[in-house]
Homo-oligomer: A and B are copies of this chain.
């Protein structure tokens, strides 16, 4: 099987290359990078010295569609949508790591992203590639919208409780913390070492673009509109996202017929029902808080929760590697599903510690 990557020199693109190097069924045919055309890929990412011999190619999606079985687009917002057409989709499967096909409502997309959507006709058929939730649809898809990093972590952390109606989604607050690779490889002052190191800050408060994506997906789970607060923070580390989510627990009927807060076991059962058979979602032991370091370099998401009886709230926590399960790993997982390959192929990486 042959794959092409458009945007192979960003951090997510680079991670795709790393993962596909260890994938038995796939060969990378095309390292697309408009910024580095003709340069050796291993000169851009020297970890690939003597591993990748190819040079970077321009982003010619039409030509690429002739040559490969699957295209990954790890490109700025709007780029993939601007190139999509029937010809391409008739020839190859596309996994888009940008936000272009994640949001079903064009006005919502255009409002939060501030750009016009250039191919809204493909939004409907695009499958939101959160494998653990939309697995069957992904298998049949020819266009997958690979979820955002914050989004994957936020949704998977809260999903079972939203789905089972155990929390009041009107009270849902997601406080997220991300390593700096999520900001990309652009040479921008706020991402300089000296600006990020020994520092933590919130950003995109009340207006981060991953908000509507989380709301839409959790809305499907809830069966009603969800409006929530999402606050990302920049943390001085390379990789990792930690989500700390808060919500009021709904009262449930207890054994004696009275109403009350659900017990630990009831919440645990909800998580297990959804994730018990999932290889890549690990529901931790009671009381253990997820740490990003325990999943680094791997496709795992670690989730857990603690009930606060004093306030009637539950604190849900989730951790993943933003470049793996939050981007490239999930893209490979989607590819595996789309092509009938073993779902974990190329993804059986043990987290690296320390």
* Interface residue? A48 (CB, 8 A): yes
Q: Which chain B residues lie closer than 8 Å to A228 at the CB level?
A: 311
| Residues from 47 to 61 in A contacting B, C-beta threshold 8 Å | 47-51
Q: Give the nearest-CB partner of A50 in chain B.
A: B282
A206 contacts B173, C-beta separation under 8 Å: no
Task: Tally A residues with Cβ within 8 Å of B.
Answer: 84
Q: Which chain B residues lie closer than 8 Å to A188 at the CB level?
A: 187
Q: Which chain B residues lie closer than 8 Å to A238 at the CB level?
A: 193-194, 197-198, 354
Q: Which chain B residues lie closer than 8 Å to A166 at the CB level?
A: none
* Interface residue? A240 (CB, 8 A): yes
B350 contacts A352, C-beta separation under 8 Å: no
A199 contacts B292, C-beta separation under 8 Å: yes
* Interface residue? A260 (CB, 8 A): no
Q: Give the nearest-CB partner of A248 in chain B.
A: B171
B350 contacts A47, C-beta separation under 8 Å: yes
Q: Which chain B residues lie closer than 8 Å to A307 at the CB level?
A: 206
Q: Which chain B residues lie closer than 8 Å to A21 at the CB level?
A: 350
A227 contacts B310, C-beta separation under 8 Å: yes
Docked pose: A181 CA to B45 CA in angstroms: 24
1/0 contact string of A281-311 vs chain B (CB within 8 Å): 0101100111111111110001000111011
Docked pose: A207 CA to B44 CA in angstroms: 23
- Copies of this chain, whole number: 4
* Interface residue? A93 (CB, 8 A): no
Q: Which chain B residues lie closer than 8 Å to A295 at the CB level?
A: 47
* Interface residue? A46 (CB, 8 A): yes
1/0 contact string of A181-223 vs chain B (CB within 8 Å): 1000101110111111111111101100000000000000000
Q: Which chain B residues lie closer than 8 Å to A11 at the CB level?
A: 194, 354
A240 contacts B200, C-beta separation under 8 Å: yes
Docked pose: A198 CA to B322 CA in angstroms: 13
1/0 contact string of A129-168 vs chain B (CB within 8 Å): 0000000000000000000000000000000000000000
Docked pose: A50 CA to B188 CA in angstroms: 26
Seen from chain A, the residues whose Cβ lies within 8 Å of a Cβ on chain B are 11, 14, 18, 21-22, 43, 45-51, 171, 173, 175, 177, 179-181, 185, 187-189, 191-203, 205-206, 227-229, 231, 233, 235-240, 242, 244, 246, 282, 284-285, 288-298, 302, 306-308, 310-311, 313, 315, 317, 319, 348-354
Q: What 8 A-B pairs are tightest by C-beta distance, nearest first? A: A199-B293, A47-B351, A194-B354, A201-B291, A206-B308, A193-B196, A175-B175, A180-B193
A-B contact pairs, 30 of them (CB 8 A): A11-B194, A18-B350, A47-B293, A47-B298, A47-B350, A50-B282, A173-B313, A177-B233, A180-B193, A187-B189, A191-B193, A192-B192, A193-B236, A194-B238, A194-B354, A195-B354, A197-B237, A198-B239, A198-B240, A198-B296, A201-B289, A202-B244, A205-B289, A227-B311, A229-B308, A229-B315, A233-B242, A233-B244, A236-B237, A246-B246
